[in-house]
Copies of this chain bind each other. A is one copy, B any other.
Amino acid sequence: MAWKQLLLNALESNAHLNHSSFLQLATIGTNGTPSNRTVVFRGFQDNTDNIQINTDARTRKIEELKLCSSAEICWYFTDSWEQFRINGNVDIIDGLNPDLLKLEQREKSWFASSLRSRSQYFWPNPGLPCLNEQAQPEVSLDPSTGPVDAFCLLILEPNQVDYLNLKSNKRLTFKSSVSAASKKNWIVERVNP
């Protein structure tokens, strides 16, 4: 079975848990040490294997990904005991992206997220010292307002996936290669857990 189908199955069997869409994204920090944080899965890009994540352009991960686009997702499903480690490169799509198709995807992802999620992009600069106790201003957001400058869509294109099922102790590695015709092929191998 392809890894994407395994992931879709895991999403379905853990869908009753709100945190099933939470995953950990590791990047290389600007000082060369690892960086790791929880982010939310925002679906696959159209009909591809690519993973969408929304983020604030003012967070450290953007600076980090600009220096090194390589990232690894670790996604553990707490009910089905399945782990996906997804390694790939991340494309950063902010409001200044020259590609109109990408800007369209960014807009789509903005409107697909809740008003509550969108309002966070109006908050003060993440990670900077908190100057007043009430750090999160109440934002009454017009639902028709398009993506603000701070809104950024990340697209991770997987090139390697490690799947582990802790109930069956089955482990599979999926490695991609690109053919002469630029078609991506996946090779799967069963490995020891």
Interface residues in chain A, defined as those with a beta carbon under 8 Å from any beta carbon in chain B: 17, 19, 22, 24-29, 32-38, 68, 70-74, 76, 78, 83, 85, 87, 123-130, 135-136, 169, 171, 173, 189-193
Contact = CB atoms under 8 A, between A and B. Distances in A.
Nearest to A71: B34
A168 to B, nearest CB: 10
Copies in the complex: 2
Top 8 nearest A-B pairs (CB, nearest first) are A26-B26, A26-B36, A36-B74, A26-B34, A33-B70, A24-B24, A36-B72, A130-B190
A87 B28 CA distance: 12
A19 B78 contact: yes
Secondary structure at chain A's binding surface: helix, strand, loop or mixed?
A: strand
A68 to B, nearest CB: 8
B83 A130 contact: no
A37 B74 contact: yes
B191 A24 contact: no
Contacts of A171: 130
Contacts of A22: 76, 78
Contacts of A190: 129-130
A72 B128 contact: no
